[in-house]
Chains A and B, each alone.
Chain A
């Protein structure tokens, strides 16, 4: 394989994975704050670096990617359910939009915030770790295809990561104007969708559209969740 073609292949394949990782970090950043989001991403990068330095090209054989996807997929589904349920309740009036309005509620919220900060950290860490490992596997696999292939594949993957991170930084401000509950709704949908996809991958499911299946899962979850909000609004509101 020509080195440039190799780098381009690594770029495209890595970009797909990088978009998924950055989406999760952005989602956590908007809803749980940038500190836990960036801390989780940084720790995941450190863990990735350590894993890659220790195992080297043997990473492909040592890391049980399927098992990791299954465990982290289940985590993401659980976290996603927690956030999406609350966003649905708030959207349909079964839960107050601002729990912190009363003093007691504010104290309760403070405790919840601490929990959600940890959730944010773990979610960001998991997302970056899984996608980073997938990028590492792509680089190692493509790198074995040609002489000096590892260097070219690494260049392609690094360029993809830089481009995706750059785009995310540019898009950060327009997204920050979206209402908080809508953002939590979207984040919940995204986490459940990623979690569903990865759980399936970990179980050995051959998704019919490969990575594009994720888009279909996101669309299905959005439509279903919006329908649930509409349905619950027709029932008697129960504000907690």
Chain B
């Protein structure tokens, strides 16, 4: 399990959490406000990248 996680994500904690939030929010918006779903996906992933580069380099 740990090896699979390492393979997919590396050492980051922020990345999977941010990606999960991005997918969840975008999915919710495809029904509630479809015009903003793509924008939300992009913006949340950019925020995830920003937070992830402040993690300790591995």
Q: Tell me if B21 counts as interface (CB < 8 A to partner A).
A: no
In contact, B30 and A94 (Cβ under 8 angstroms) = no
Who on chain A is nearest to B31 by CB?
Answer: A204
Q: B3 to nearest A CB, angstroms? A: 10
State whether A203 and B23 are in contact (beta carbons under 8 Å apart), knowing that A78-B9, A89-B53 are contacts in the complex: yes
Q: Give chain A interface residues in 87-119, CB to chain B under 8 Å.
A: 88-89, 94-95, 115, 118-119
In contact, B19 and A74 (Cβ under 8 angstroms) = yes
Which chain A residues border B26 with CB–CB below 8 Å?
199-200, 203, 205
Who on chain B is nearest to A225 by CB?
Answer: B49
In contact, A192 and B19 (Cβ under 8 angstroms) = no
Q: Tell me if A84 counts as interface (CB < 8 A to partner B).
A: yes
The interface residues of chain A, by DSSP majority, are classed as helix
Q: Tell me if A8 counts as interface (CB < 8 A to partner B).
A: no
Q: Give chain B interface residues in 7-25, CB to chain A under 8 Å.
A: 7-10, 12, 15-16, 19, 22-23
In contact, A228 and B30 (Cβ under 8 angstroms) = no
In contact, B38 and A94 (Cβ under 8 angstroms) = no
Which chain B residues border A125 with CB–CB below 8 Å?
none
Map CB proximity to B onto A172-213 as digits: 1 under 8 Å, 0 otherwise: 000000000000000000001000100110011111100001
* Docked pose: A196 CA to B37 CA in angstroms: 12
Q: A98 to nearest B CB, angstroms? A: 14
Please tell me which one of the listed residues A199, A200, A224 contacts residue B49 in the complex, with CB atoms under 8 A apart: A224
Map CB proximity to B onto A60-102 as digits: 1 under 8 Å, 0 otherwise: 0000000000000011011101101110110000110000000
Q: Which residues of B contact A (CB under 8 A)?
A: 6-10, 12, 15-16, 19, 22-23, 26-27, 30, 34, 37-38, 41-42, 45-46, 48-50, 52-53, 55-58
